[in-house]
Structures are given as structure tokens and as C-alpha cells.
């Protein structure tokens, strides 16, 4: 069995079908590319073949390149290996594009068309772009585009060069720089594909049998080709390139090597003939691949994220898919959890203490679904079906038959204990009970349960429908089946799980709080707040610490600070943070929801600049720190805490630590996560920097013993702790 097979019919059409054995979605491997190349040679050489149609044997066309293969090219052959691998793909796709054409007369090519039954991403679109005409099935669920930038690379198999020459740099920009995906109808109006039809294979067959020589000449292979939208040195092209550079820098702050390299490939490629442009594209692609950032991003955002979603850390237990879910508390979190579950086809009972509150919780789903209808992503029938799955009530008897409960009532041990008992009185003996608490130890809450081995934490992030991470927390007594149930539930609602052990603030909040605190502490020290916020963004954090605490609210910060102080007593080391935080709260500046925090907000709640009285309250020091000093404080505050979580056994798998950090609180994605970042620095350098920070700013930066030991032994986190590698060994 091979990835591509070919059938020739009596009319002279060679149908090449891509169908990778044993996978639900096609991905391209180097072996697959070699097979395809052989089939194309065969069909071009066969006089009986008049035209070629390339399609898929699956419901979709292809998901792209096998990213494991790209990572492998780098491991095996370094920069030369990557460059040679990419040039091989260019030769193959160029062979398809030229299809035997005489370069002088531009005649004699054989028509080649692509027939896409569904989704076509990455090289799954770059291959069709090299054919002469692209037919897609009229399938609104299909996604068509080049999402490479999302995992830290860019389309490097001709997608960049072809799309820019097809659409012009301006129109290609959102597709290349943002990885924007379109359904077939939109892809057609954007000019990415040519036809949307009921039966793409039949339409493609007809087309190849009737195509003329002129249909087979790509504009860039014809004489006098002019770049759509203008070449870089034309007045319009110049504006585009300058604007794009500014936009990319504004969005990425210069920390994502792929976006910069992509722009360089576009700009330099546009100045030279097509084949040279492909070579330039391959060089920049290699450059990006050799940057550790891209390897780390691929590892965390693609390979490990997928491994966790597929249950890399699932205990061995029979399928625990949820059929009927009970949600206790229909507030902000409960309403969101009910929505994502109902949307995934699960029946939901949504309980609150008054019918009004329960109904309000359900109407949250109505709101999201109506927005979907407005955007034509949802239909009235589908909306009715999803809402029909949610029963909003005050009656605990309705929980009868629920196999999973997620509790999201007030953050109060007593209230949570009461609802746990009331629910357990009704639900089946073997049901699993989960709490969405963000601060209370799972072990303490499990005391209210008659079945602590069936009690677990399932911690969602707000807003539930948008945030992709779910943190699953094992209490000391939590059993394997509860973990499997939580993981199966997270898989059903299509989110990414991490599994951690019970400890103060679990994993994500444990790391994000020191980040926020470090920012606030610096304000108190007289560091310019603008420097704090910009330093964070220039390090690739989506939000500066002051904006983040405004979003999560100052009063929540105060509440957490008070509870932490009570729990830690004399060991509490954040007085300097509290001095600032409590003064903000006393001034009524509770953050975004109050329309006043570290930032000012207009009447409509839109964030303006930083509050102009910050300087009067905490006068800026005459001597401001270096940018990198501020960045190191903000980054180490998070990364050292992640190491402590690993050291303490809260984290059991660094893959979860890295994926969880990016998805949970936006830890600078270009690093691949805190462990990826520390590996990039190297343990000796990380220890040296942390020691220096500790000497200047306090013991909170003292390197954990584990990091010191790794520095001495010359180890990396992924060398020492990578479970993928351990399993393979």
C-alpha cells in the first residue's frame, strides 16, 4: 500500500488518488512525495494519458506536511537537509506545473487539475496551487488555506511564491501572515481556487479533457508577467511592502522569526524570476527551520498538543465518554461549560439556586449561537438542537442519570460541600464529580464527597468557549477512572487537557500570578509602567501584566493576596505587591469591569492609555532599568515557577507544562513554552541570570535545585524529561 495510487481510464484521464493508509487525514511524507513524483513521470510519458486529476480517497484532501517529517529533515541533515528536502518538493511541484511544456513555445503540456473533496491545508493547498485548475466540492465545512504561520513556520513548498504571484502581496497577506482559512466559496472569491462544484472529480475530468494550451500556462510563465498589485518598486507595491513590514512588526514585536522571513521571501522573491523566487523561499524556510523557536513551536503547538489531545497521559480505562452532564452553578463559568458541552452533543442539566439564574445561564448559549447565526456559521435548526440539550432548572432530581458533574458555584468551601452532597444523593453510584474551583485544594473539597476516588478537578479558563486549555487536577485520592473520564470529556468538547497534581493554584495560576505580581511590584519600585507593559509585549506576551490584572480584576487579586497571606503566614513575600494592589483597590480602581484600573477606559469600556495618575502615586525613578532586565524579571517569574511545579511533582510531564503555558495564559508562544525557553537559554545561562536577579531583587528568583543540577550536568529539560523520547527508548 502506498500514499498515492493512479488509475488510467479509457478516455485518457489518469486519476491520482492520495489516500495515506491507516490515517483519517492525508499528510505528505517524503516517501509519499517520491511516489507522487513517479506517478506524474509515468502519466506525462504515457501517450495514452491526455490529462491528470489529483484527488483524495478521504473526505478531506490533506492536512499538510507531516511536521514530524520536517523536524526529521532538520535532525538528520541540518540546514542542508532542510534546504535539499524543500528543493525536492519545489522540483516536484514545478514538474506538475510545467507538465511537459516546451519552455520556448509554451505548448505541449498535459492538463493537470486538483479535485478537493474537503479541507486542504498547507501543502494540501500548495500542491493544488501548482496544478492548472483547482476544483473544490461545495462543502461549507471544508477549510482551505495555509496555516503554517500558526506553528512558527511559513508556506515553504511554493505556497508563498505562488500565492503572491496569483493574488498580489496585498491580497495574499492575510492568507500568509495570519494563516487565514476560508471555506470553498470564500476561497474562490479570494481567487485562491477556481471552481466550487458538486462533484469535483467529474468537473476536473471534463476540464482536463477540454483544456487548451493557453489554459496551462501560468501567468508567471508567460511573457511580460506583471505582479498583481505592483512589483516592490512600483508606487503601489512600495506602499504594500512598507505597510506590511510595519504591520508584521507591530503584531509580532519582532519575536516571531517566521513572519519576518516570510516577508523577506515575498519581497526578495518579487524582484526575481519565478524559479529563483522558489529558491529564495527555500532559503528563508531553511533559515526559519534552523531557528530554535520554530522547532519549539512545532513541538508544543503541533506535536505535543496533539499528543495530549489524543490522551498521551490517559490512564488505561474503558471509554468514559460523557452522555449526560450536570453543571452546578449557572454563573459565568457554569454557563460557558454548559454551552461547550451541549455544542459537542452532550445532554446538559444546568442547575442554579433560582430558576431565573439557571435561565440566565442557558441564555448565555442563546447569545453565542445567535452571534454564530449572524456570522452565518450557525443555523436556526442547529441552534434549536443545541439549546434543546440544555435543561435549566433548580431541581437536583433532574441530575438523575448524569455520569459527570461539573460544579461551578461560588468559590466557597461550605457552598461547594453542600451542593456536592445534594448532587451525590441523586447521581448514579459510578458517576464522577468534578469541581471547577480555581483556588481551593481538591483534597479539601473531596472531603464533602462520599466517593473521593471519583472526585476530581476540571479547571476551565474564562471565557470557556474561547480558551482551549483545560487543567485536570488529581486530588490525593482521585482514581484513574476519574482521570480518564475528565480526559474523555475534554476530548469530546475538543479542548486540550493537561493533568496536574493538587497544590496551591495548580499549575497555570501558580505561574501567572508571579508574572502579574512582578509587574505590579515594578510599578511600586518606580519602574515606568509603560516600560513594564512594552517589555512584556516585546517578549511576546499577549498582554502586559498590568493589562492582565485589569482584565482579571483587581479585587480578585486582592482576594487571592489575602488568602495566600493567610495560608503562608510569615513566609509571605509579596508585601511590596500588596502595597500597590491594595491602594488601587482603595481608590476604587478594580480593573476593566469597573472602567478604571492600571489603565483608563472610556465610557464604552474601551481601554485607553495607562492611568495618568500612576506616576503621581508611584513616581518613576530617575534611573530606569534596561529593557532586558525588565523582560528577564517578567519571564523568570513565570519560568522558575514552572520549574518549581515540576520539581514539586505538580507537573508530571514537561509537554503539559509547555502546552499548558501557551494555551492557558499566553506564555510567549515563540518560545514553545517555559521549558522550551529555558532550554533555548541553556541551564547554565538560566542559572547565571536567575542568580543575578536573585541578588538584585530577592530570593524569589533563586534558581531551583533542579535547574542548578541540570546546569552542572549540562542537561536540557527535553533531554532529561521528554516523555515522548522516554517512551520510544
Please list the active-site residues. 438, 459, 471, 509
Residue whose CB is less far from ligand NAD, 123 or 351: 351
Between CA 319 and CA 536 the distance in angstroms is: 43
Does position 411 interact with ligand NAD (CB under 6 A)? The reply is: yes
- The span from the CA of 396 to the CA of 376, in Å, is 36
Q: Which of 328, 386, 399, 639 binds ligand NAD (CB under 6 A)?
A: 328
Distances (CA, A) of 121 to 63, 700, 707: 5, 45, 40
Q: Give yes or no for residue 395 binding ligand NAD (CB under 6 A).
A: no
Q: Which is nearer to ligand NAD, 83 or 461 (CB)?
A: 461
Q: What's the grid cell of residue 497?
A: 487537557
Comparison of 114 and 327: residue with beta carbon closer to ligand NAD: 327
Q: Is 357 in the site for ligand NAD (CB under 6 A)?
A: yes
Among 248, 402, 408, 561, binds ligand NAD (CB under 6 A): 408
Write the Ramachandran bin of 527: left for phi over 0, alpha for psi from -120 to 50, otherwise beta: beta
- Binding segment (CB under 6 A) for ligand NAD, from list 280-288, 338-346, 413-421, 530-538: 413-421
Q: CA 676, CA 18: separation in Å to the nearest integer?
A: 35
Burial class, 603, CB count within 10 angstroms (exposed 0-12 / middle 13-18 / buried 19+): exposed
Is residue 410 part of the contact set for ligand NAD (CB under 6 A)? yes
Binding mask 464-503 for ligand NAD (x = CB under 6 A): ----------------------------------------
Identify which of residues 146 and 503 has a Cβ nearer to ligand NAD in the complex.
Answer: 503
CA trace torsion 298, 301, 302, 305 (10° rounding): 140
Considering only the stretches 124-132, 152-160, 267-275, 406-414, report the one whose residues sit in contact with ligand NAD under the rule CB under 6 A. Answer: 406-414
C-beta of 567 vs 725, nearer to ligand NAD: 567
Tell me whether residue 18 or residue 461 sits nearer to ligand NAD (CB atom): 461
355 binds ligand NAD (CB under 6 A): no
Q: Closest-CB residue for ligand NAD?
A: 331
User: Which of 35, 182, 420, 438: binder of ligand NAD (CB under 6 A)?
Assistant: 438
**8-state DSSP, 651:** B
CA distance 36 to 57: 14
Residue closer to ligand NAD (CB basis): 312 or 351: 351
Chain mean position to CA 401: 35
One of 245, 353, 530, 716 touching ligand NAD (CB under 6 A): 353
Q: Does residue 351 touch ligand NAD according to CB under 6 A?
A: yes
- Residue 569 buriedness (CB in 10 A; 0-12 / 13-18 / 19+): exposed
Strand partners, 434: 406, 456
Judged by beta carbon, residue 282 or residue 419, the one nearer ligand NAD is: 419
Instruction: Report the 3 state secondary structure along 381-432.
Output: HHHHHHHHCEEEECCHHHHCCCCEEEECCCCCHHHHHHHHHHHHCCCCCCCE
Residue 294 in contact with ligand NAD, rule: CB under 6 A: no
Single residue of 66, 148, 206, 352 touching ligand NAD by CB under 6 A: 352
Of 70-78, 89-97, 98-106, 410-418, the window that binds ligand NAD (rule: CB under 6 A) is 410-418
Length of the chain: 729
Omega before residue 463 within 30° of 0, cis: yes
Residue 419 sits in the site that holds ligand NAD (CB under 6 A): yes
657 binds ligand NAD (CB under 6 A): no
In whole angstroms, give the CA distance from residue 510 to residue 667: 13
Q: Which class for 56: exposed (0-12), middle (13-18), buried (19 or more C-beta within 10 A)?
A: buried
DSSP element (H, E) containing 351? strand 347-351
117 in Cβ contact with 55 (< 8 Å): yes
Please tell me whether residue 333 binds ligand NAD under the rule CB under 6 A: yes
> Toward ligand NAD, which CB reaches closer, 466 or 727?
466
Q: Pick from 137, 167, 409, 487: which binds ligand NAD (CB under 6 A)?
A: 409
Q: Work out how close the CB of 508 gets to ligand NAD at its nearest, in angstroms, rounded to a whole number.
A: 10
Assess contact for 600 and 611: CB atoms under 8 A: yes
Segment interacting with ligand NAD (CB under 6 A) among 171-179, 371-379, 435-443, 621-629:
435-443
Q: CB of residue 556 vs ligand NAD: minimum separation in angstroms?
A: 8
The separation between CA 710 and the C-alpha centre of its own chain, rounded to angstroms, equals 30
* Residue 436 binds ligand NAD, judged by CB under 6 A: yes
The binder of ligand NAD chosen from 329, 475, 544, 672 (CB under 6 A):
329
- Output the smallest distance, CB 408 to ligand NAD, in A: 4
List binders of ligand NAD among 573-632 (CB under 6 A). none
- Cell numbers given for 12: 485518457
Give the β-pairing of 13-18 and 51-56. Answer: parallel
From the CB of 418, what's the least distance to ligand NAD, in Å? Answer: 6
**In the bound complex, what is the minimum distance in angstroms from residue 605's beta carbon to ligand NAD?**
18
Options 312-320, 403-411, 594-602, 720-728: segment touching ligand NAD (CB under 6 A): 403-411
Segment 65 to 124, residues that bind ligand NAD, using CB under 6 A = none
> Quick check: 462 binds ligand NAD (CB under 6 A)?
yes
Give me the phi and psi of 600, to 5 degrees please: -95, 155
Is residue 437 part of the contact set for ligand NAD (CB under 6 A)?
yes
User: Of 461 and 701, which CB lies nearer to ligand NAD in the complex structure?
Assistant: 461
Q: Say if CB 76 and CB 143 are below 8 A apart.
A: no
Q: Can you list the alpha helix ranges (DSSP code H) found in 99-130? A: 123-130
The answer for residues whose C-beta is within 8 angstroms of residue 113's C-beta and 6 or more apart is: 51, 52, 53, 54, 131, 132, 133, 134, 135, 204, 207, 208
Determine, following the binding rule CB under 6 A, whether residue 549 of this chain makes contact with ligand NAD: no
Q: In the chain, what are the helix, strand and coil shares in percent, each to the nearest 5?
A: 55, 10, 35
| Residues in touch with ligand NAD (CB under 6 A) | 328-334, 351-353, 357, 408-411, 415, 418-419, 436-438, 459-460, 462
Amino acid at each position: 500500500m502506498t500514499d498515492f495510487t493512479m488509475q488510467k481510464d479509457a478516455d485518457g484521464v489518469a486519476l491520482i488518488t492520495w489516500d495515506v493508509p491507516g490515517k483519517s487525514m492525508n499528510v505528505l511524507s517524503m516517501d509519499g512525495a517520491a511516489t507522487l513524483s513517479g506517478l506524474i513521470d509515468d502519466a506525462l510519458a504515457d501517450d495514452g494519458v491526455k490529462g491528470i486529476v489529483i484527488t483524495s480517497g478521504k473526505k478531506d484532501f490533506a492536512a499538510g506536511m507531516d511536521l514530524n517529517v520536517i523536524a526529521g529533515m532538520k535532525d538528520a541533515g541540518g540546514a542542508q537537509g532542510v534546504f535539499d528536502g524543500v528543493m525536492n518538493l519545489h522540483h516536484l511541484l514545478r514538474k506538475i506545473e510545467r507538465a511537459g511544456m516546451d519552455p520556448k513555445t509554451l505548448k505541449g503540456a498535459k492538463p493537470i487539475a486538483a479535485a478537493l473533496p474537503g479541507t486542504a491545508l498547507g501543502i494540501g493547498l500548495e500542491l493544488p496551487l501548482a496544478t492548472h485548475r483547482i476544483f473544490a466540492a461545495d462543502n461549507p465545512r471544508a477549510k482551505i488555506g495555509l496555516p503554517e504561520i500558526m506553528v512558527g513556520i511559513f508556506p515553504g513548498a511554493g505556497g508563498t511564491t505562488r500565492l503572491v504571484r496569483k493574488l498580489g502581496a496585498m491580497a495574499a497577506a492575510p492568507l500568509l501572515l495570519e494563516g487565514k482559512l476560508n471555506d470553498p466559496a470564500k476561497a474562490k472569491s479570494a481567487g485562491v481556487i477556481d471552481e466550487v462544484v458538486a462533484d469535483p472529480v467529474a468537473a476536473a475530468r471534463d476540464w482536463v479533457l477540454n483544456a487548451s494550451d493557453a489554459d496551462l500556462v501560468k501567468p508567471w510563465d508567460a511573457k511580460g508577467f506583471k505582479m498583481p498589485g505592483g512589483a516592490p518598486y512600483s508606487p503601489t507595491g512600495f506602499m504594500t511592502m512598507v505597510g506590511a513590514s510595519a504591520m508584521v512588526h507591530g503584531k509580532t514585536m519582532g519575536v516571531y522569526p517566521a513572519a519576518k522571513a516570510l516577508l523577506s521571501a515575498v519581497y526578495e522573491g518579487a524582484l526575481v524570476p519565478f524559479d529563483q523566487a522558489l529558491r529564495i523561499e527555500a532559503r528563508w524556510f531553511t533559515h526559519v527551520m534552523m531557528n530554535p523557536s520554530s522547532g519549539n513551536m512545532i513541538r508544543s503547538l503541533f506535536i505535543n498538543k496533539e499528543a495530549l489531545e489524543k490522551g498521551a497521559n490517559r490512564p488505561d480505562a474503558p471509554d468514559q465518554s460523557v452522555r449526560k452532564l450536570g453543571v452546578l452553578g449557572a454563573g459565568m463559568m457554569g454557563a460557558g461549560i454548559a454551552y461547550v458541552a451541549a455544542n459537542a452533543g452532550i445532554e446538559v442539566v444546568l442547575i442554579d439556586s433560582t430558576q431565573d439564574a439557571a435561565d440566565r445561564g442557558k441564555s448565555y448559549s442563546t447569545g453565542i449561537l445567535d452571534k454564530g447565526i449572524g456570522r452565518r456559521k450557525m443555523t436556526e435548526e442547529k441552534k434549536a438542537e443545541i439549546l434543546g440539550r440544555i435543561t435549566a432548572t433548580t431541581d437536583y432530581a433532574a441530575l438523575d442519570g448524569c455520569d459527570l458533574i461539573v460544579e461551578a458555584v461560588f468559590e466557597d468551601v461550605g457552598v461547594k460541600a453542600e451542593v456536592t452532597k445534594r448532587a451525590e444523593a441523586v447521581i448514579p453510584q459510578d458517576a464522577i464529580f468534578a469541581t471547577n474551583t480555581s483556588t481551593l485544594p481538591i483534597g479539601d473539597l473531596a472531603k464533602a464527597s462520599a466517593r473521593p476516588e471519583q472526585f476530581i478537578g476540571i479547571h476551565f479558563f474564562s471565557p470557556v468557549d474561547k480558551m482551549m486549555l483545560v487543567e485536570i487536577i488529581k486530588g490525593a485520592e482521585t482514581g484513574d477512572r476519574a482521570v480518564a473520564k475528565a480526559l474523555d470529556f475534554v476530548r469530546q468538547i475538543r479542548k486540550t487537557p493537561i493533568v496536574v497534581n493538587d497544590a496551591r493554584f495548580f499549575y497555570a495560576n501558580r505561574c501567572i500570578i508571579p508574572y502579574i505580581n512582578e509587574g505590579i511590584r515594578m510599578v511600586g519600585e518606580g519602574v515606568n509602567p509603560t516600560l513594564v507593559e512594552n517589555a512584556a509585549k516585546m517578549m511576546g506576551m499577549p498582554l502586559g501584566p498590568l493589562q492582565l490584572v485589569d482584565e482579571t480584576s483587581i479585587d480578585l487579586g486582592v482576594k487571592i493576596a489575602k488568602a495566600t497571606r493567610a495560608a503562608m503566614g510569615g513566609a509571605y513575600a509579596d508585601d511590596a505587591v500588596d502595597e500597590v494592589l491594595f491602594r488601587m483597590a482603595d481608590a476604587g480602581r478594580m480593573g476593566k469591569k469597573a472602567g478604571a484600573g492600571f489603565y483608563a477606559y472610556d465610557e464604552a469600556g474601551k481601554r485607553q492609555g495607562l492611568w495618568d495618575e500612576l506616576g503621581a502615586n508611584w513616581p518613576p525613578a530617575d534611573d530606569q532599568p534596561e529593557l532586558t532586565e525588565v523582560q528577564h524579571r517578567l519571564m523568570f517569574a513565570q519560568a522558575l515557577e514552572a520549574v518549581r511545579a515540576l520539581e514539586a511533582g505538580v507537573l508530571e510531564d514537561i509537554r503539559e507544562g509547555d502546552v499548558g503555558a501557551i494555551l492557558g495564559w499566553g506564555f510567549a508562544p515563540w518560545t514553545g513554552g517555559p521549558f522550551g525557553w529555558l532550554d533555548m537559554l541553556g541551564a547554565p545561562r538560566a542559572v547565571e541570570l536567575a542568580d543575578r536577579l536573585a541578588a538584585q531583587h530577592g530570593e524569589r528568583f533563586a534558581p531551583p535545585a533542579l535547574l542548578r543540577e541540570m546546569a552542572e550536568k549540562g542537561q536540557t529539560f527535553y533531554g532529561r524529561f521528554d516523555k515522548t523520547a522516554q517512551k520510544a527508548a
